[in-house]
């Protein structure tokens, strides 16, 4: 079975042009089929504030009302997606930027109201693995942003880690998939203040214990939830790591997620 690498980048990496360029050059050097997924960084929050809209988050997940949806669509599917795609082209990687609506890549539905109304947040129904495979077979590298659609004309904001998870799991039927969640830290940290305190391996029991102790909190919670879901979905190897782990020659592997 052929190998496929799925890399998700986000956090402060997207805000630092030098770090982003280096990370994308390393991604371009990864051999074989690959897919990149990116989040939105802080740019959408900055634009929201400039327009008088207060960003709202619950446990690392964004509340997306109608004005916020317009902003994140502009930033995620426009500015950032094309910036990343352009940088990959400059690194010799023939990338194609996509939202979930492009090629019907990712079909989702608006999340039902519960105790928290997430607004125009999208929960994924289906990833078009056939279309992505067709692109890969032509030598193109899909670059997915975190905007999906419902098939009825409504765009939706979907967590980029979730997109990476579901995409990797969908592709696992035909590939041996390695999924890397890359951000500004070197991995899941035992001490959030110590960048060297990387937990090398994390299973469900460890996760529950660290979460209860407060070691794992806020935005790391949905990231690990997604990493565990990827393992349950058949992804061969899942890492939460720093951008240095993108490189094929990396010696820093971050935190490997196990069941």
What integer pLDDT is reported at residue 82 of this predicted model? 98
114 has pLDDT over 90: no
Higher pLDDT, 172 or 250: 172
Q: What is the pLDDT of residues 20-70, one digit of tens each?
A: 999 999 999 999 999 999 998 688 888 888 988 888 887 667 789 999 999
Give CA–CA dist 254/196, Å, rounded.
Answer: 10
Q: What is the pLDDT of residues 71-98, one digit of tens each?
A: 999 999 999 999 999 999 999 999 999 9
Q: What is the pLDDT of residues 130-148, one digit of tens each?
A: 999 999 999 999 999 999 9
Q: What is the pLDDT of residues 179-199, one digit of tens each?
A: 999 998 999 999 888 888 999
pTM: 0.95
| Mean pLDDT for all residues in the chain | 94
Higher pLDDT, 4 or 58: 4
What integer pLDDT is reported at residue 54 of this predicted model? 84
Out of 3.40.50.2300, 3.40.1160.10, 3.80.10.10, 3.40.50.300, the CATH code matching 3-257 is 3.40.1160.10
């Amino acid at each position: 079975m052929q190998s496929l690498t799925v890399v998700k980048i986000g956090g402060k990496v997207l805000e630092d042009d030098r770090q982003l360029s280096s990370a994308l050059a390393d991604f371009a050097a990864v051999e074989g089929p690959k897919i990149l997924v990116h989040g939105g960084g802080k740019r959408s929050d900055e634009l929201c504030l400039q327009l008088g809209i207060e960003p709202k988050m619950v446990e690392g997940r964004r509340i997306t009302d109608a004005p916020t949806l317009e902003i994140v669509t502009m930033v995620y599917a426009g500015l950032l997606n094309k910036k990343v795609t352009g940088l990959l082209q400059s690194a010799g990687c023939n990338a194609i930027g996509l939202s979930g609506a492009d090629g019907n890549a990712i079909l989702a539905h608006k999340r039902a109201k519960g105790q928290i109304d997430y607004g125009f947040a999208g929960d994924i129904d289906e990833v078009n693995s056939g279309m992505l495979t067709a692109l890969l077979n032509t030598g193109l590298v899909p670059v997915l942003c975190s905007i999906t659609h419902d098939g009825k004309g409504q765009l939706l904001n979907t967590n980029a880690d979730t997109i990476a998870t579901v995409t990797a799991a969908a592709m696992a039927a035909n590939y041996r998939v390695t999924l890397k969640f890359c951000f500004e830290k070197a991995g899941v940290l035992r001490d959030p203040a110590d960048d060297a305190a990387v937990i090398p391996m994390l299973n469900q029991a460890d996760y529950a214990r660290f979460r209860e102790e407060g070691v794992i909190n806020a935005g790391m919670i949905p990231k690990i939830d997604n990493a565990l879901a990827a393992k349950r979905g058949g992804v061969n190897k899942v890492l939460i790591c720093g951008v240095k782990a993108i490189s094929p020659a990396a010696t820093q592997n971050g935190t490997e997620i196990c069941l």
